[in-house]
Each structure stands twice: as C-alpha cells, then as structure tokens.
Structure 1
C-alpha cells in the first residue's frame, strides 16, 4: 500500500509540474499585463491570491482598464459558473470540514478538477486534488509576482504557444475517462455544442452550454422499453411473447 501511495503521488507531482511550468509563465504574463494596464502591483498580487481565476483575471483587467469594473465582476462570475458542476463532480474529494470545503473551493480549477477525477474515488482522489490544487496555486501566484517585477518582459502567452498547454494537458488527463461509451458520447456532444456556439456567444458561455450534453444519459433512461417481438402462432395470428410465457 505504501509503495502504491508513493507511486501514485509521484505520478501526480510529475504531471502537475508539467502544467505548473506553463501556469508559471502565464501567471507572469498576467502580472506584466495587469501592471501595464495601470493596476497597482499590490492589487495585481491580491487578485491572483484572492480571486485566482486565470482567464477571468485577464478579462477583468481588460474591462477595468476600459472603465467597466462592474462588467468585470459580472463577466467573472459568469465565466466561473462552471465551478458549480465541478464541485458536484468532486463530491467528498474536498473533505468534510467547513475549512476544507472553503479552501478547496478556492483552489478548484479546471486542471485540479481533472487531476482529481482521473483518480479513483476515495483517498487517492482527495490526495490528487489537494496536491494539484496547492501546487498550481503556488505556481500561478509565483508567476504573477515575477510578471509584476519583470514588467513587459514576460511577453504574450499566446505568442509563445503557452495558451495551448492547458487544453492539451486537460485532454491528456481526460482520455482514460473516454473509454466508457456513455462518457464518450456525452463528451463529444458537449464539444460539438461548444464549437458551434463559439462564433455566436461571448467567451465562457460556450463552455456552459456544453453542460447541456449531460442531459443525454437522463433522456436515454426515460425512453420507453421496446415492445416484445411478435411471433405467429399455429393459426397464423400474430401475438407477443412475454418472458416466461409458455404456449399450450
């Protein structure tokens, strides 16, 4: 058991380190962009610590710089509404105490959720969530501090290709779950909805719309059972044969 524990944690640490390196660089870019937009250094650091919302922080800085702080708050709430189903999916992985639930909710990100759900439910999933959550939180805030100090030297993460690291990492983590046929059908339907809605809806809304694919299993279960096949009796009249029915 101890060997399995160490092996599982080592695998999580290795995978988190790969995404954490990209998060460090993107965090540095956020720090530089926020300072360049006129946000004070202390406010930039506080946003990464207290808000910790990744893409929503970039969007908020742009809206605040444009003079729309209220729009920044509303857009951030809408964009991060996806954490509601994340919390339902994680269940007891956050813990049972109130302090664990509050802190775990703050550390909940797409990446930490994917790391946790890639592990079996129970202690292993709980360890994976907390390892990923804490380490990625530290990487993001360390990157923000570097960006604040370095100014514009961090560059644009899209120009460096770092923006592709997060979806690629998430796809790799979710691949084992796609072995299940029903899960694969729901994932493909959700991806199709998001792709079709991307040109039509603001950023963040296509992801929320993709959650509608979760209704597919419920609709499949509500379908009426198929009627039993009809067979012809000796007189040639068709009749249905039920399980356990014996003809005389």
Structure 2
C-alpha cells in the first residue's frame, strides 16, 4: 500500500516514464547481458558438462553468477556437491530481491511462480529504476523475457562452439567465465564497504585455493561479508563515542547539542 501511494504521487508530479523508453532501457540490459551466455556455454562445455546439461542449467537455474560458480568449481576438479553449495549460496540473494519486487509489481498470484524465475540482478535493477508500477511491470517483463531468451540461445551456441573447437583451454576460452563474472560484478561495487568485501573475498579465495579442495574456497570467501560488516559497525561505534561534547557557553553552562555553544547574539547574525 505504501509503495502504491508513492507510485501515484510520482505520476501526479509528471514523472511518468513513456512505455517506449522503458522498453528501450530494458532491451538494452537484456541484450547486453544476454550475450554473455555464450561465455557460459563455452565454460560449461570446457568443464566437462554435456550439451543437454549446459542448456538445462540456463533453462532451469537462470542466474549467471551461480551458473559460472558451479561450472568453475567443476572445471577446477571440485566435488559436485561443494560446487552446487557455492552456486546455491550465490543464488540466495534472489530470494531477497523477490521480497522487494513482490511489493512493487503486485502481480496476480497465478503469475508469481513464473515471474519468480526471472528475479535476478538485472531485472531487479531495471524494475527498481522505474517511477510507476506500470513502468516497473513493463521493465521487469521486457528485461526478463529478452534476457531469458537470449541467454539460453547464446548458451546453446557457446556449448556447440566449444564442442566444435575441442579443448577450450588451448584457445584460452577457459578464462571467459571468470572474465564475464568480474565484468558483471565490478559495476555493482559502488561503496567502500562493498569494495572491501570484494577485496577480502578475493584474498580469502586465492589464499585458500592451494590448501582446500576445489569449490571450498568460494564458500569460505563468503565470510568476507560478515567480517567487513562487523569491522564497519565497530568503526561506527568508535566514531560515535569520540564525538566531542559542545563547549560551555559564556555563562558557564553547556549549550544544547548542535548549537556549538553559540550565544543568542551570534545566532541572530
């Protein structure tokens, strides 16, 4: 209800976005990200998965980061259960996206199970950027449809191409998956905390790679998030405790907080 009121107010103020502009933006995201499905198809085939297995991952899982994590761990010789666990934990974030989008989109109950399959980073970003519920629904639908169709098509082409050229490592295509993953992740690191989490995760993952079984370092790297949040929380507590009190005023009494001890004459200037 609160979100509906917010949408109505924005529309009344003339901020409604034309449908054509929403479709254009959504298609831009869908096409740009959908093309990276080719890299996943190549990486998956190089990890030893067959054509049907590769296509099934894109059809049924449809979350790029989790898919790349799974085939990357398998390619490194990791246990399938460990690889699946890492992919699962990466995909959990989509559940939190769904909680937010369910309020914004307010879709009929019969449609929600199908829409849930399209709740990923890109559809969430496009949906949240819209000023009205109508625009949000259009953005979500167009982004999800275009990205799902193109991602699966390019996955098929990538897997077929990998089978045709043989050993993907000989062509250096085994690096395509990690490269695309980093390209998708980098624009999301906007704050110092997010960059710290990413940096710490890299250090944990690379540092433990020689001593832990393949796939396990990815799970351990997830500890970077709570560690960074704990450090940030303690820094915030210390900053609050170090805030100096306001100096006493001319009459010896301490001024109310926020006045900085200024007198009435100074405030009137």
TM-score by length of 1: 0.67
1:230 to 248, 251, 254: 248
Paired residue secondary structure (1:198): helix
Mean Cα displacement is larger for which, 49-58 or 149-158? 149-158
Shift of 1:136: 1.2
Question: SS of 2:130's equivalent?
Answer: coil
1:53 aligns with 2:75: no
Q: Does 1:203 align with 2:221?
A: no
Q: Which runs of 5+ in 1 are unaligned?
A: 176-183
Could you list the runs of 5+ residues in structure 2 that have no partner in the other structure? 1-13, 206-216, 258-262, 265-269
In the alignment, which residue of structure 2 is the partner of 1:10? 24
Distance apart, 1:158 and its partner CA: 3.5
Change (3 A) 1:7 1:61: closer
RMSD of aligned residue pairs (Cα, Å): 4.0
Give the aligned length.
221
Contact between 1:229 and 1:240, CA under 8 Å: does it hold in 2?
A: yes
Contact 1:94 1:104 in 2 (8 A): no
Counterpart in the other structure of 2:92: 81
| Aligned counterparts of 2:175 and 2:249: Cα–Cα separation in 1 | 65
- Residues in 1 aligned to 2:19 and 2:204: alpha-carbon distance in whole angstroms: 46
Cα distance in 1, alignment partners of residues 219 and 138 from structure 2? 29
Distance in 1, Cα, partners of 2:245 & 2:184: 48
The Cα offsets for residues 148-203 of structure 1, whole Å up to 9 and x where unpaired, read as: 433435752735965554346xx2xx69xxxxxxxx6xx22121222123111433
The match for 1:25 is: 38
The residue that corresponds to 2:192 in the other structure is 188
Deviation string, structure 1 residues 35-72 (Cα, Å, up to 9, x no partner): xx1x3433332222112232433443455574733223
- Distance in 2 of aligned mates of 1:229 and 1:91: 51
Distance 1:9 1:51 in 2: 25
Q: Secondary structure at the match of 1:199?
A: helix
Residue number among 101, 106, 111 corresponding to 2:117 in the alignment: 106
Residue 146 of structure 1 corresponds to 157
Indicate how the Cα distance of structure 1 residues 162 and 67 shifts in structure 2: closer, same or farther if over 3 A, else same.
Answer: closer
Q: Return the alpha-carbon distance in structure 1 between the equivalents of residues 255 and 78 of structure 2.
A: 73
1:155-194 alignment to 2 at 5 Å?
156=173, 158=175, 162=180, 165-167=183-185, 171=187, 187-194=191-198
CA contact (8 A) 1:12 1:115 kept: yes
Match of 1:181 in 2: none
